[in-house]
Chains A and B, each alone.
Chain A
Amino acid sequence: MSLLDFSNDVFIAAFFLYSAAFMLFTIAIMGRRWSGREPEEHSARWGRAAFIASSLGLLCHLAYFFTRWAGGGHIPVSNMYEFMTFLSMMVMVAFTVIFSIYRKILLGLFSVPISIIVMAYAAVFPQEVQPLIPSLRSIYLNIHVTLAAFGESFFAVAFAAGLMYLLRTVNFNSSSKSDKRQQRGVEFTLFIIIVIIGFLASVFAFRGAGYETVFIRSNVTVDNPGQKDSTIEKVSYKMPPIVAPYHSEIESFQSILGIKKPLFEAPFWMKGVNAGRKLNTVIWSLLTGAVLYGVLRLLVRKPLGRALQPVLDGIDEGDLDEITYRAIAIGFPIFTLGALIFAMIWAQVAWGRFWGWDPKEVWALVTWLFYSAYLHLRLARGWQGRRSAWLAVLGFLIVMFTLVGVNLVIAGLHSYAGTD
Chain B
Amino acid sequence: MSGNPPLIVNTKCECGHQNPVGTVLCEACGNPLLDGADSARPLEMRYDGKARRSQKTNPGVIDRVWNFFSSVKIAIYLIVLTLLGSTLGTVFPQESTFLHIDPSTYYKQRYGTAGDIYYRLGLSHTYESWWFITLLVMIGASLVICSLDRVLPLYKALSRQQIRKHRRFLTRQRVALATKVAEGPEDWVSKAVQPLKKQGYRVMTDGGALLAEKHRFSRWGPYIIHIGLIIFLLAVLARGLPGLHMDQHLAFPQGEIVHIPDTSYYLVNERFTVEFYKDEEMPEEFRGKKVLPKLYETKAVLYECTADCGDPSREPKLAKVASHAIQVNDPLSYKGMKAYQFDYDLTPVLRSVTPKLVNSATGESYGSFKLEMKNPQRSFTAGPYTLELKEKYMEFGLSEEGKPISKSPYPNEPAFFFLIKGPKLPAGGEPYFYFPKQNDKAEFQQDAINDKLGGQGRFLELEVGDMSGVDVSESTSYLNVRVDRAMPFVWVGAGIVMLGLVLGFYWQHRRIWLTVGEGELTLGAHTNKNWYGLRREVSSFLKKMDINADEKSLENGGDPA
Contacts and interface: CB of A to CB of B under 8 A. Distances in A.
A131 B294 contact: yes
A384 interface: yes
Given A318-B558, A329-B529, A350 B501 contact: no
Interface in A30-51: none
B340 A352 contact: yes
B243 to A, nearest CB: 18
The 4 closest A-B pairs by CB, nearest first: A382-B561, A128-B283, A333-B501, A138-B329
Q: Classify chain B: how many residues form its interface, as a range.
A: 35 or more
A362 B89 contact: yes
A277 to B, nearest CB: 20
A330 B505 contact: yes
Interface in A314-356: 316, 318-319, 322, 325-326, 329-330, 332-333, 336-337, 340-341, 344-346, 348-356
Interface of B: 46, 72-73, 75-76, 79-80, 82-83, 86-87, 89-91, 93-94, 96-97, 111-112, 114, 126-127, 222, 236, 247, 277, 281-286, 292-296, 327-331, 338, 340-341, 480, 482, 487, 490-491, 494, 497-498, 501-502, 505-506, 528-532, 552, 555, 558-561
Interface string A366-385: 10011011001101111111
A381 B87 contact: no
Interface in A102-161: 102, 126, 128-131, 133-135, 137-138, 140
A221 to B, nearest CB: 11
Contact of A134 (B91, B286, B295, B487): B295
A363 interface: yes
A363 B72 CA distance: 24
B490 A354 contact: yes
A410 B87 CA distance: 11
A72 to B, nearest CB: 9
A185 interface: no
A134 B296 CA distance: 7
Contact of B329 (A126, A350, A362, A373): A350
Contacts of A372: 79
Contact of A354 (B277, B487, B558): B487
Contacts of A384: 558-559, 561
A216 interface: no
Nearest to A329: B505
A133 B487 contact: no
Given A366-B86, A382-B559, A382-B560, A134 B531 contact: no
Given A380-B72, A382-B561, A410 B498 contact: no
A336 B497 contact: yes
Contacts of B76: 373, 376-377, 381
A352 B283 contact: no
Contacts of A129: 283
Interface residues of A, number: 63
A269 B110 CA distance: 10
Contacts of A303: none
Contacts of B82: 369
Nearest to B72: A380
A130 B292 CA distance: 9
Given A138-B329, A352-B338, A369-B86, A333 B502 contact: yes
A357 B94 contact: yes
A346 B338 CA distance: 14
Contacts of B328: 134-135, 137, 350
Given A137-B328, A377-B76, A131 B340 contact: no
